[in-house]
Amino acid sequence: MKRHVFVLVRYSVLTHHRGAWVIGRDNDFDEYKKKLFEDERLKLHTKLFKTVTLPSLLKMEKKNTTVLVFTSSEMPAKYLNEIKEIELKFENFKVIEVDVSQSLTKVMQDKLLGELGKLGEEVCYASVRLDDDDALADEFYVSLFKYVDPSFVGHSISFSKGYAGLYENGSYKGFYVQNYPKLALGLSHIHHYRKGEEKEVSSIYSLGGHTRIDEKAPIIIDSRKSMYIRTIHEASDMYGSKIKSKVELERNKVTHEEVFEKFWFLNKKEILNKVLVSGKAFVKTHHNTFLCFSKKSDTVFHYDFQKIEKSSDLFFILYDMMAGKLCINNVDGWLEIKKKGKVRFVTVPDLEVLLNKESGIILKMQFDEMHGGAFLSASRSGTVRFVEHCKAWENFLLTF
């Protein structure tokens, strides 16, 4: 039996069912639509989706995860196209346009049924709730996947512990720990699918409101680790002076460093934000350093973040997940073999490129057999050399 995770993201869906959103509860439909599609609101949500929500999902194992982004067919073309561009870069991301007259829950069920039919005869799967401005922790996938088992079918899973993050002027100003059982963010349900037996399938949204989900299904509350960031910004329902005061309270204060340990992609480095939406990942060594390339000497090194940033000759080496090749940040081109033990940077490929053997987000990097079949190995001195055999600790980690 296959196991799979479906993350269902609501991205500014316009619906006649006003109760789905606080923004729609106190307005007539035309006013609701106007507020939902305000340019400043969509700019903010697009930025948050690209720099917070999206990179947190890229941590999940691609072959066992499908991200379904549901958005409005009436969203302004400029912003709709931006979402669709992301879909083109990641094969396990799918954007579904929802008509204003359609039931969002029914559209979700129909799409799930189609996706499950592609996976096989029998599937145990989880469906996960997520909005377009929140994030799931690096460990979320691994922790949830332990419950994606026939013994848990029919149960809902609530990872209740996480962080609330106050987001103002383009960055997080502070965090505090929260523990809310049955919180919608990351709320999941375990299902079973057998081909031919079900005309429709259910999702976590089929169970209704999250605050009363325990009345529909037995629920497991897992509060052992912080599993999410709930983003509070000027366009969100919770934004206000009370939240700001809560962040300031010493007993609730959490350092950025503590959060970064669980959400590494939130590092404030500007270079990181440029890379996140491109379908590329940093290449991290077992020394907790990053691969970089010197164009002056055509040599690969590994250094910590600060050293690479401060050098005008060193460039981050990135792994392009769609092309399956190594490239350099902010420069068009690829890294290719010059000769055994050396690499070179080219804009037009004419030699064998660096190949890879991928397992999850772990990468074993090696040259083609025609060029010696040597593996990259990062030494303690900071140099990168080529070895005949690859040891387990010489694998590289793709980091977003």
Confidence of residue 396 (pLDDT cuts 50, 70, 90): confident
Distance (Å, whole) CA 100 – CA 58: 29
pLDDT of residue 213: 94
Confidence of residue 292 (pLDDT cuts 50, 70, 90): confident
**Mean pLDDT value of segment 153-170:** 92
Task: Please state at what angle helix 39-48 crosses helix 77-89, rounded to 10 degrees.
Answer: 10
Question: Per residue in 107-117, pLDDT tens?
Answer: 999 999 999 99
Task: Name the residue with higher pLDDT: 293 or 357.
Answer: 293
Residues 84, 22: contact at Cβ < 8 Å? no
pLDDT of residue 43: 92
Distance (Å, whole) CA 75 – CA 95: 13
What string of DSSP letters covers 282-328? EEE-TTS-EEEEETTTTEEEEE-HHHHHH-SSEEEEEEETTTTEEEE
**Mean pLDDT value of segment 318-337:** 70
Distance (Å, whole) CA 364 – CA 356: 6
Confidence of residue 331 (pLDDT cuts 50, 70, 90): low
Average pLDDT value over all residues in the chain: 81
pLDDT of residue 372: 54
Dihedral angle computed from the Cα positions of residues 219, 220, 223 and 229, in that order, rounded to the nearest 10 degrees:
-60
Contacts of 63 (CB under 8 A, 6+ apart): 92
Q: Is the pLDDT of residue 206 over 80?
A: yes
In percent, how much of the chain has pLDDT > 70?
76
Task: Name the residue with higher pLDDT: 9 or 309.
Answer: 9
Question: Per residue in 246-270, pLDDT tens?
Answer: 766 655 678 877 888 788 777 544 3
Among 91-105, 228-242, 273-287, 382-396, name the most confident range.
91-105
pLDDT of residue 241: 60
Nearest one of 105, 55, 141, 70 to 321, comparing CA atoms = 55
Residues 367, 337: contact at Cβ < 8 Å? yes
Task: Name the residue with higher pLDDT: 64 or 89.
Answer: 64
Give CA angle at 135 (307, 246), nearest 5°. 95
Confidence of residue 296 (pLDDT cuts 50, 70, 90): confident
pLDDT of residue 318: 81
Distance (Å, whole) CA 55 – CA 274: 12
pLDDT of residue 279: 61
Q: Which amino acid is at 360?
A: G
pTM over 0.75: no
